[in-house]
Chains A and B, each alone.
Chain A
Amino acid sequence: MKSNIAIKSNLILDHPDYRPVHRYLPGDLVKKIYPEKVDMRIIESELTKRQIFELEQNLICIICDMPCAGTCES
């Protein structure tokens, strides 16, 4: 059966090429364990574009009070 759900790996090699490790964490987890890295002044240098996107997807919406990723507006 075809599915749109993609299982994503959560492993990164323990190797100098893959440092710093926090750049491979999901954006919402980075916020949980390294809150200082999501400071708007440094976020672009500390996180990857993908992490920032993931973080935005998980922000609590001020309209619906849920992590709606902007869908509640429509």
Chain B
Amino acid sequence: MNQQFGIGIDFGTTNSVVCFYDDSIKTSRAFLDKGLPHSSVIWYRADGSKPQVGRESRRQMRSYSGTEGHHFQASIKRQLGKDYEEFIFGRKVKCHEITSEIFRFLKEDALTQRPDLEFTHAVVTIPVYFDGKARRDLRKSADNAGIFIRSFIHEPFAAIVGYLSRSKSLERIDTLSDKTILVFDWGGGTLDITVAKVLGSQIIELAIGGVNDRSGDFFDEEIMKFALSRSYDRNGISSDTIRIVAGDKGRILTECERTKIALSELSYDKIQIGRAYSQSERRYDVDEIINRSELNNIVANEVDDAIIQVESTLSRAGVSPHAIDQVLLIGGTSRMPYVRDRLREMFSHRITEIKNADTIIAEGAAVIDALGFQPFFARSLCVELADDSLYPVFEEGSLAVPDLCKKTLSFYCTDNRNGEAKLILKDRSNEYRSSKPALKNILTIPVSPELPRPYKHEKVSVDFWLDSDLIVNVKGKAATQRVGNSHEIYDLCYGLRLFNSDME
């Protein structure tokens, strides 16, 4: 029987990586394609052959996108949790079915590279603002591919573990105590920021932040608009009369992405796409030169917003930029010279260049799985009471174990005149008082607006439980009402206690 192993999966918008932790040599190994991560592009063909995933699919997208008999699906991760469906050769395919193809490919590739191993489960990394629906879609996708997700972990957090593991610092984590690390992970789909602190043998997320949909893919679209507008001007045609079919758009975006990457090294590059768009039956090529300063102008607003996100995450963590000891830059968009320059203005020499940054997140996930690091609540999740005090539901430091973390609390509504009880949920840290309590949600629970005589305080019962997707579910109902209200809290900070004894 083959050895049973867990894997770490970094399922990315642009690229995906699988790693496993080889305990015999205390190192994570990534399953790569000629030293590069697998592309998250899926290539469907009309002949019914098995969908293909990976770098070959991305290469073929450049040639065949928009051609009959070929369907390419890129950046599918962005659609998770949005009830997205795609028509592929006349068949409606759900988002999680499409993403399953990537998981299936990743598993098969890992098994091809290591046929002596059997991969039974995984720790899968997620962006910090991946909500409950997106996580459930992701779990379904992995399930379809025969991968059981043991746990999710935030991508930047996994990156820290991966980085410490690779630099052999995990074994002597105590020596890093009190170090504060900022992870800036800007990829194709999301910007994820985490401020974390090493405390003894623990790593704790002090604050998380970020944005969706203003990342690498968005930049590609902006570059495309820039190149097309120049091309229209050159050909003296109006953009209103132009027609670009979906397949051609895919080709243009692929070329724009290539140019964007090239401009990290070069001072200028050419965007060349044959027969990119049409106007009254005539097809036009795009052949435009773009230089780095033009690219900087295109992305300037989004980079400014990213810097604001960093500042607000630091503020929520109660940490000044000077208190950050190390900045880890992860993700393709972070490689853009303009992004690096802006971060260097803030953190100067503390920015760490990570070799093979593409695999660091999956490496961290593999370490977390192999060494059984169990996340704990880094901040107490509290209910604000009518006297403004905070009552902890799940205490800071307590293990975040699904099914075990559950509680039912009973409240009296102190003012029912508006017909609603306001359950205000905040998280706070006693350990780091400099980080202020943060509002997580206000759940309004219907109550009776009547003031009966004699007066009876309205009772409200609220259930809290942590599910296997690391989401705290909150469900409240008043005793006099038939319906209540519920909410999912997914943007919580976690910590990891590193079991040093296992590392020796």
Contacts and interface: CB of A to CB of B under 8 A. Distances in A.
Interface of A: 7-14, 18, 21, 24-26, 29, 32-34
Interface string B397-428: 00000000000011111111100011110000
Contacts of A8: 386, 388, 422
Contact of A14 (B383, B412, B421, B455): B412
Contact of A9 (B424, B451, B457): B424
Given A12-B414, A25-B415, A33-B455, A7 B386 contact: no
B432 interface: no
B114 to A, nearest CB: 53
Ordered nearest first, which 8 A-B pairs have the shortest CB separation?
A14-B410, A11-B411, A33-B455, A10-B415, A24-B386, A9-B384, A24-B414, A9-B424
19 contacts: A8-B386, A9-B383, A9-B384, A9-B424, A10-B386, A10-B416, A10-B421, A10-B422, A11-B411, A12-B385, A12-B411, A13-B410, A14-B412, A14-B459, A24-B387, A24-B414, A26-B415, A32-B451, A33-B455
A13 B384 CA distance: 10
Interface string B454-475: 0101011000000000000000
Interface string B438-466: 00001000000001000101011000000
Contacts of B410: 13-14
Contacts of A11: 383, 385-386, 411-414, 421-423, 460
B411 A13 contact: yes
Contacts of B385: 9, 11-13, 18, 24
A51 to B, nearest CB: 11
B84 interface: no
Contacts of B417: 29
B373 interface: no
Contacts of A24: 385-387, 412, 414
Contacts of A7: 422, 424, 442
A29 B387 CA distance: 15
